[in-house]
């Protein structure tokens, strides 16, 4: 008589080989992009240490300082225009990131993603650590830190198109919004871990706030080289079905009114489509990707949504430090509430958009709700603001990008995903560069003015989605009448 299998073994064997590979890839890419964001966060934590309110800092007794110099600051950030200098550093990273993102998608379609990601993470680790080594090498040149930020921004562009392409290769449309909503929490998890790790060292040796995250992302690059599987076909697994809803004669509301797309797919042309999947493997052009319905609208919406999100990412700890008079570590820890809200917001956005089939409408409603929340910008609202601001941002950069990158108008071209993702996120990165820059210029006039700017950007993000929301509403009304 056979003894019953242990419950744990029954659970393990209940999953197919395809499922194991699929979720292993999901876990790895989650880990990789967590490391990318973890390495971006230290600069926002260290800002309040580079320029402190020296009058409130007790001078060490053994320094015997007799002048009134701001001895506790780190040159060149000891000047009155320190906020502008911080804005310069932010923009060196973000402008390089925005420009590099458009190029990165093109490379991502043509190079093995495993090599591309591995090299990108190793180089990101190097430049992140070099910023921190400026503390130990006693470097006070703005040019040095600006150059490191530019190079790091370029290296970080290797991440997003590649990880989204990997996940898109393994997962079909089905529950893509929910799956990617959970998966996209890597952004907030990375921000939280980056804040906590940087906070451990910021008050004693801020250089380690960069060196430790740099070592972490470099280590994940090595992990990527040894374990990442780019496509199901590489390990003889079944590829996902990207257009099951189309094959059943249905289309998503977003795709209505596209005259160049033949939506009548029946048994006589299914073979033709299957053949095109095999044959049509050339990487899509930049202009070809722009012609995919919805790419331009979502890209422009993300520009303003990311402007809001990245302003919080780079300036929230300094804002909390100035307003609530917390030290650098306390401000960094408090800022993680915004990212914790972002985790919940991203998951909810994906879940709702899967259930309703309305990606644009879900983003629109969350952005509308975020505007008044930004007006009440005290610390207690951080959790709610994080969910409403980061929810649409997460949905557009994941599920929407994957949907558009596997759009049926591509006729089976599976090599458009990285380019489409790079266009959408690259356009959004322009907003990510503008937000911190504007915050640096506006904040000396008062923090309220910064939040008015963020509210205006939120409203503009809504406006760019209006046409798509209208089309989705038309689709729902049509199905209701049918």
| pTM for the whole structure | 0.72
Q: Is residue 180 predicted with pLDDT exceeding 70?
A: yes
Residue pair 403/362 in contact by the 8 Å Cβ criterion = no
How sure is the predictor about 275, in pLDDT bands with cuts at 50, 70 and 90?
very low
Joined tokens for residue 426: 């690259």
What is the predicted pLDDT for the residue at 151? 96
Least confident range from 169-173, 382-386, 419-423, 461-465: namely 169-173
How sure is the predictor about 53, in pLDDT bands with cuts at 50, 70 and 90?
low
Q: What would the mean pLDDT of 359-372 be, rounded to a whole number?
A: 87
What is the predicted pLDDT for the residue at 145? 94
Residue pair 180/398 in contact by the 8 Å Cβ criterion = yes
What is the predicted pLDDT for the residue at 57? 47
Domains and their CATH numbers in the chain = 18-51+79-227+288-481 (1.20.1250.20)
Q: What is the pLDDT of residues 190-236, one digit of tens each?
A: 988 998 899 899 888 899 999 999 999 999 999 999 999 988 888 88
What is the predicted pLDDT for the residue at 242? 54
Integer CA distances (angstroms), 189 to 30, 31, 186, 197, 312, in order: 10, 10, 5, 12, 15
Residues 6+ apart with CB under 8 A from 182: 346, 347, 350
Joined tokens for residue 370: 């975020």
DSSP 57: S
How many CB atoms lie under 10 A from the CB of residue 345?
A: 29
Q: What is the pLDDT of residues 253-263, one digit of tens each?
A: 443 333 343 43
Residue pair 265/249 in contact by the 8 Å Cβ criterion = yes
Higher pLDDT, 225 or 104: 225
Report the sign of the C-alpha dihedral through residues 392, 393, 398, 403, in that order: positive
């Amino acid at each position: 008589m056979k003894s019953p299998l242990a419950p744990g073994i029954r659970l393990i064997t209940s999953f197919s080989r395809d499922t194991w590979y699929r979720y292993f890839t999901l876990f790895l890419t989650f880990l990789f992009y967590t490391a990318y964001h973890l390495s971006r966060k230290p600069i926002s934590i260290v800002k309040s240490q580079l320029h402190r309110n020296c009058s409130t800092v007790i001078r060490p007794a053994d320094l015997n300082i007799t002048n009134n110099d701001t001895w506790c600051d780190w040159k060149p950030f000891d000047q009155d225009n320190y906020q502008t200098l911080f804005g310069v550093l932010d923009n060196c990273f973000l402008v390089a990131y925005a420009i590099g993102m458009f190029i990165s998608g093109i490379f991502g379609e043509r190079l093995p993603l495993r090599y591309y990601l591995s090299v990108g993470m190793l180089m990101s680790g190097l430049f992140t650590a070099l910023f921190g080594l400026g503390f130990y090498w006693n470097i006070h040149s703005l040019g040095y830190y600006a150059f490191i930020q530019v190079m790091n921004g370029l290296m970080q562009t290797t991440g997003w198109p590649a990880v989204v392409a990997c996940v898109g290769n393994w997962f079909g449309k089905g529950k893509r919004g929910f799956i990617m909503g959970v998966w996209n929490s890597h952004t907030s998890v990375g921000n939280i871990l980056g804040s906590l790790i940087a906070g451990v060292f910021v008050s004693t040796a801020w250089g380690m706030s960069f060196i430790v995250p740099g070592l972490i992302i470099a280590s994940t690059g090595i992990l990527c080289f040894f374990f990442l599987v780019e496509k199901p076909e590489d390990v003889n697994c079944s590829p996902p079905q990207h257009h099951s809803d189309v094959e059943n004669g249905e289309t998503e509301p977003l795709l209505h009114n596209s005259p160049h797309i033949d939506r009548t797919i029946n048994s006589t042309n299914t073979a033709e489509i299957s053949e095109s999947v095999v044959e049509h493997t050339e990487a899509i052009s930049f202009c070809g990707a722009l012609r995919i319905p919805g790419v331009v609208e979502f890209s422009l919406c993300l520009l303003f949504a990311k402007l809001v999100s990245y302003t919080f990412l780079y300036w929230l700890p300094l804002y909390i430090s100035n307003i609530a008079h917390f030290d650098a570590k306390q401000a960094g820890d408090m800022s993680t509430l915004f990212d914790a809200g972002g985790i919940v917001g991203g998951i909810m956005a994906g879940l709702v958009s899967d259930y309703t089939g309305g990606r644009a409408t879900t983003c629109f409603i969350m952005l509308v709700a975020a505007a008044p929340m930004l007006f009440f910008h005290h610390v207690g609202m951080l959790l709610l603001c994080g969910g409403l601001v980061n929810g649409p941002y997460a949905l557009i950069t994941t599920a929407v990008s994957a949907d558009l990158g596997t759009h049926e108008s591509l006729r089976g071209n599976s090599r458009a995903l990285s380019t489409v993702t790079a266009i959408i996120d690259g356009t959004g990165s322009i907003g990510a560069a503008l937000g911190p820059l504007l915050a640096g210029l506006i904040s000396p006039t008062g923090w309220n003015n910064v939040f008015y700017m963020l509210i205006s950007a939120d409203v503009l993000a809504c406006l760019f989605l209006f046409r798509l929301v209208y089309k989705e509403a038309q689709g729902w009304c049509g199905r209701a009448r049918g």
